[in-house]
Amino acid sequence: MKVVLLKDIKGTGRAHTAVDVKDGHALNLLIPRGLAVPATASVLKQAETKAAKADEQRTLSAKLIEERLTVLAEEKITFTKKANEKGHLYDALDAKEIAEGAKLPVDAIHIERPFKEIGTHEVPVAYGDNFGKFSIEIVAE
């Protein structure tokens, strides 16, 4: 069955693209959950227009992130958190807080787990084809 995806689905395809999937997968999972719609002529035209806009937006976002990464490579972002005498944070620093401080989208920050200790840490960033990292410093209040 040919469907047009409404959202990015890992292993299936990107949003606003037409893909062929098994009938059961489309009828029992994708369509009822609002992840896809059956591919008709009008839906395909709309999807084509939206896909072009989405690609343009992705390209723009990737360019902005690349520019932001070059700025972040030269400077260090400092976060102030409460910590005990041993340097362990009472409240961990997660990807959302790092993204706000770095002015990057949350989905671009790829840390394995939140940081729980003071000191200097490397934060990996991946968005589309852009990969990089920048340093953050966590200091005690």
State pLDDT tens for residues 43-83. 999 998 988 888 888 888 888 888 888 888 888 899 999 99
Report the CATH fold assignment for 65-140: Ribosomal Protein L9; domain 2 (3.10.430)
Q: Which two tokens stand for residue 114?
A: 């939140």
The answer for 16, left when phi > 0, alpha when psi is -120 to 50, beta otherwise, is left
Over residues 19-37, the mean pLDDT reads: 94
Q: What percent of the chain has pLDDT over 90?
A: 53
Sorting pLDDT into bands at 50, 70 and 90, what band is 139? very high
First to last CA, the chain: 58
Over residues 73-96, the mean pLDDT reads: 90
- β-partners of residue 2 are 20
Q: Which two tokens stand for residue 25?
A: 């997968």
- Given this model, what pLDDT does residue 128 score? 72
Supply the pTM of this predicted model.
0.64
CATH classification for the domain delimited by 2-59, as one of 3.40.50.700, 3.30.930.10, 1.10.10.10, 3.40.5.10: 3.40.5.10
User: Distance between CA 93 and CA 47 in Å, rounded?
Assistant: 39
User: In angstroms, how far is CA 22 from the centroid of its own chain?
Assistant: 28
Q: For 131, which DSSP code?
A: E
Question: Which of the pair, 114 or 71, is modelled with greater confidence?
Answer: 114
For residues 77 and 102, the answer to whether their CB atoms sit within 8 Å is yes
Q: What is the dihedral of CA 81, 83, 87, 88, to 10 degrees?
A: -100
Could you tell me what percentage of the chain is helix, strand and coil, using 3-state DSSP and rounding each to the nearest 5?
A: 40, 35, 30
Q: Where are the domains of the chain?
A: 2-59, 65-140
